[in-house]
Structure formats: structure tokens, C-alpha cells
Amino acid sequence: MSIIELRGGTVYDPANGVDGERRDLYLSSEGIVAKPDDPKRVTESIDVSGCVVMAGAIDIHTHIGGGKVTIARMMLPEDHLRDLTTRGQHPRLGCGHAAPSTLTTGYRYAELGYTACFEPAMLPANARQAHMEMADTPIVDKGAYALLGNDDFLLRMLAKKADKALIRDYVAWTLKATQALAIKVVNPGGINAFKFNQRKLDLDEENSAYGVTPREILIALAEGIQALGLSHPLHIHGCNLGVPGNAETTLATIAALDGRPAHLTHIQFHSYGTEGDKHFSSGAAAIAELVNAHRNISVDVGQVMFGQTVTESGDSMRQYAGSAFADPKKRVVMDIECDAGCGVVPFKYKDQNFVNALQWTIGLEMFLSVRDPWRIFLTTDHPNGAPFTSYPHLIKLLMDRSFRNDMLGTISKDAAAATTLGSLDREYSLYEIAIMTRAGPAKTLGLTRLGQLGIGARADVVVYNDDPDRERMFGKPRLVYKDGALVAKDGKIVAVPRGATHVVRPDYDPGIEKQLDQYFDRYMTVKCANLMVGDDEIADGGRGELVIHETARGA
């Protein structure tokens, strides 16, 4: 076993309480190891003094794999033609920007020091393809959250007031069948309601077909997950995404959860008020205050950045409504397999557009107003708010107040006048950045060996030059290691491991399988057994690695 010594770096490892201390690190393929007694075992020693050292970064919410991403890829050649990679730039050709190719996605994440990425919206009906796409996303570890809450099976159970144990078993079966790490709900009941021509669904509004409300769905799933003892709580994309006034829905959703653990994703898109001449305002302050007061809640932001992107979501109801703003003018909306749906709408965020500029300020207000960095994670909801390649710029906005205020001076005057952003003088520290991009995501996802640099952690390590321009610093790390092997050096990919797939697999009563078999035979167009993604598919003849994380209930 070869050991690499990283000597004298300034280490930020919040999971182990290390805040900018000078430390030596020892990396091997087995993980981070203690300083070997026999110095001859160190095969390479690198002086990284003066450099900042962190664990590999983790993106907790990024749309990297699955049908809707590939629809976006097919639909937007004009966007890709502007960002083609050239021979020699990466190990293999591809393209970047809004919906990059899987290969380029993996390389670019690694170049930025990211070593794990999580696809947050895997439809069970589409799980196999999502995993095939993630397998073709090199270098980074991956995992996915399975979508529930719009499937006719669950809604029928809820309509029949099924036993909680049955719902819990169904959640556990779904995790196993789709090889998932967590459960996500998108517009609870709303995607299904859209199939019955409902155009909006508030928290306490009944789905017309099943008479079930989003509140009931949220609570049923949150409780099922809690009963299974999953590390990551229900990952919620709430009702009324993008609708002015939806801050009220978000506040009501937090209240409805009533202390149950939950993660509210891309909270920026759910923090809109209706004040002002344009009836569009920031609801960030009130939501941040409620999040601060509720330790059961975590959020990620879904920051908007200006420029061309594409929005990809399971929320067919809201994406259909949003297609009026498609730029360029095209869009795909799908109803999917009595399971969920999707909508793919290209979009251009413009800094002189009042609404877009205010969205930008709302995201930043949220970052700066939620106090506990362990409960707020850095995302753009790639690519919905912006492609992930904008992360270094976002980090600079968070760490550098004068830069932030300079940028604030360039956006729509009306938006700049309407925001409190200029009065927020918080600047994120490197320690806090390490929490929100490493230790925090690893903790909530239950990835015990990721996001940290203690002995036994996977040796995913990033070495940055301590450049006062944080955008430049985070944009091109000096060294990136994955499992103890150098994968990127000064922004150049040097090795291409495949990356592991992380899942959980809590036990369930096999009785649910009989019910599902029958349901699939009676109503679906695949057999239940054929929907299930096997371990052999992830292992792929030894090329893939499956990591099964422990849960309180079984496996």
C-alpha cells in the first residue's frame, strides 16, 4: 500500500473540529491513515505548507443523471456547441454548460475539488437509466434520492388510510429497488394532480383523484423515513415552486412538519413574497428566522446566477406553468409511469430583470441569514439556478462582502433597492465553507467516511492555494485526490477512477413485495421484478463499487 504524505498544509476539517491548523496528512487507497512508524512507507511526500487542505467537496443536490437531464442534453445543442471540450483538455471529449455530458460533468466536478455528487430526483421508473448515467459520470462518488409522493401506489394507500407500517415498508422497498440513498418528494401530490388537470395544489388542498393533501403526504413520508432510521430526512421540494407568495407555503410547511426532521431543498425558489409594485418580494428573512428556530430543518439554497441555463424538474405542474418563460422557446413536459413527471424548460436569468435579480438577492440573503452552517448547504440546484461551474464565484460572493456589494451595484436598480442584502455584512469563513460543502452534507447523508479527514476516512482530499481571490482559489485547486490517488492537478485531470455508488437498505417486511407484484401486474407496464435495479448492475463486472450505509433499522 503506497502512502502519500501532504506536509504542513493548513487543514480545515470541521467534522473533527480542526479549524485552520497546520497538520500533516497521510493518504492511501484504503483511506486516511496515521503517520506510519516506518518513514520508508511514505512513497511520496509533498510540501503543501501555505496551502488550504480540505476533504473532497460534496454536492448534496445536483441534477447529473436521469431522463430529464438527458432530455435537456438532446434539446439544447446550441448551448452545448458554445462549450465543447477539445482534444487533450480532458481524458475524453464532451461538452459543458447547462446540461453537460456525463463525462464532462465528472471531470469538471473533480477539477473543482468535488468528489461526491448526489442526484436528487430519481424516478423509480427511471432509476436504471439514472444509475447508468451516474456510472458514466467519472471520478466522483454518487448516489440518488428516489422520488415518492406522486405515485398512484402511495396515493391509493393514503386514500385508504393504510397502516403506517405498510408505508414504511414501501419506502424501504423503494430504496432497495432503486438503489437510493434517500427519499425526495417533489410538489407532493401535485405532479399526480396535474395529470387530472389541477394546476395548483396548496398544502391543504386535496388531490382531486385521491382526496389526499400535500400535508398528509409529507407527514406520511417523513414518518416512514424516521421509522426506518435513515440518516437523511425527507428531502422536500415543496408546493408552489416559483409562485409569488410561496414563502407562506414554506412557513406553513415547516410548521406542518411539527418537529419531524426534514430537508427543504432549493429554498430560494420557495421564498417569495408579494409585496411592492411588482408584487414580487423577498420572503427570505422570515423563512431564515424560522429555520434558525427549528433544529429539525436543514436547507440548501438553489442560488440563481445570471446567464443561460435549463431548468429540469420532476415538477411537471410548475414546469408547465413556467414554460411561458422558456428561453429559447421550447420545452418538454412529461407525465411518467403513474410514478411522477418531469419538465425541462430552458431559461435565461438576466441581471437587469427585476424578478431574476431579486431571485439572486433572495438566495444570498438566505445564505447570510441562516446562522448554522451545518444546516444550510451550498447549491445552485444545478442546473436550475445555474450550472455547478459557478460554485467558485458563489463562494466568493459569500466570503467577500465588498465583492458582493460591487455585484449588487450592477443588478437591476429596482431589485437592488428592494433587497436588504447590502446591509448583511456576514462573510463566510473557510471553516464555514468547509462545513457547508463537506462536513454538513456528509453528516446529513450519513456518509461517515466522506466530508472529513480523520483516520479511516476515504482519502478524498483537496489542496488549494490560499489565494485571497476565493473564486480563483476554489476554481482551480492545486491537487485533488480521490481514494488516495491524484485525479486533478492545477485544474488538469490526471486519472479517472469510476467512483462509488452510495445507498441505504433498511429492512422491510417482505409482505409488501407481494402487494407490489400484484399492483405492477394489474396496472403497470413492467413487472415489479424487472423494475428493480440489481446489485450486479451497479457492480457492473467489478467496474463499479456499491457502498451500503447502515441505518438504524437493518442493513
Taking the complex as a whole, the smallest distance from the CB of residue 298 to Zn ion amounts, in Å, to 15
The one-letter amino acid at 131: H
Which of another protein, Zn ion, none does residue 228 bind to, with CB < 5 to 8 Å depending on kind?
none
Question: What does 74 bind: another protein, Zn ion, none (CB cut-off 5 to 8 Å by kind)?
Answer: another protein
Q: Does 85 bind another protein (CB under 8 A)?
A: yes
CB 301 within 8 A of CB 266: yes
The span of 5-13, 234-242, 326-334, 475-483 binding another protein (CB under 8 A) equals: 326-334
**Residues ≥6 apart with Cβ < 8 Å to 40:** none
Q: Closest Cα to residue 131, out of 541, 549, 467, 533?
A: 533
Q: Which does 320 bind (CB under 5 to 8 A by kind): another protein, Zn ion, none?
A: another protein
344 φ, ψ to 5°? -125, 115
Window 97-156: residues binding another protein (CB under 8 A): 99-104, 123, 125-126, 128-129, 132-133, 136, 152
From the list 69, 415, 462, 500, which residue makes contact with another protein (rule: CB under 8 A)?
A: 69
Pick 102 or 271: Cβ nearer another protein? 102
Nearer residue to another protein within complex by CB, 101 or 281: 101
d(CA 378, CA 203): 27
Q: Which is nearer to Zn ion, 121 or 125 (CB)?
A: 121
Q: DSSP readout, 487-543? A: EEETTEE------EEEEE-----THHHHHHHHHHHHH-SS-HHHHSPPHHHHHGGGT
Give, in order, the Cα–Cα distances in Å from 526 to each of 68, 512, 515. Answer: 20, 17, 15
Q: Does 539 bind another protein (CB under 8 A)?
A: no
Q: Is 186 in the site for another protein (CB under 8 A)?
A: no
Residue 101 CB, shortest distance to another protein, in Å, is 4
- Whose cell is 407496464? That residue is 525
Residues lying near Zn ion in the complex (CB under 5 A) are found at 381
> What is the distance between the alpha carbons of residues 473 and 433, in angstroms, rounded to a whole number?
13
Backbone φ and ψ of 217, nearest 5°? -65, -45
Q: Could you say which of Zn ion, another protein, none residue 547 binds, taking C-beta under 5 to 8 angstroms by partner kind?
A: none
Residue 50, H or E segment:
none
Say how many C-beta atoms besides its own lie within 10 A of residue 40's C-beta: 7
The site partner of 196 among another protein, Zn ion, none (C-beta below 5 to 8 Å per kind) is another protein
Nearer to another protein, 96 or 451 (CB): 96
Strand 461-465 relative to strand 51-55, pairing? antiparallel
Nearest distance in Å: CB 275, Zn ion: 27
Which of Zn ion, another protein, none binds 1 (CB below 5-8 Å, type-dependent)?
Answer: none
For residue 69 the three cell numbers come to: 437531464
343 CB-contact burial (10 Å; exposed 0-12 / middle 13-18 / buried 19+): buried
Contact of 100 with 94, CB cutoff 8 Å: yes
Of residues 336 through 365, those in contact with another protein by CB under 8 A are 336-339, 344
Can residue 77 be called a binding residue for another protein (CB under 8 A)?
Answer: yes
Interface characters, 220-239, with another protein (x: CB under 8 A): --------------------
381 binds, among another protein, Zn ion, none (CB under 5 to 8 A by kind): Zn ion
Q: Which residues bind another protein (CB under 8 A)?
A: 65, 67, 69-71, 73-77, 80-81, 84-87, 92-96, 99-104, 123, 125-126, 128-129, 132-133, 136, 152, 194-197, 320, 323, 326, 329-339, 344, 522-527, 529-530, 533-534, 537
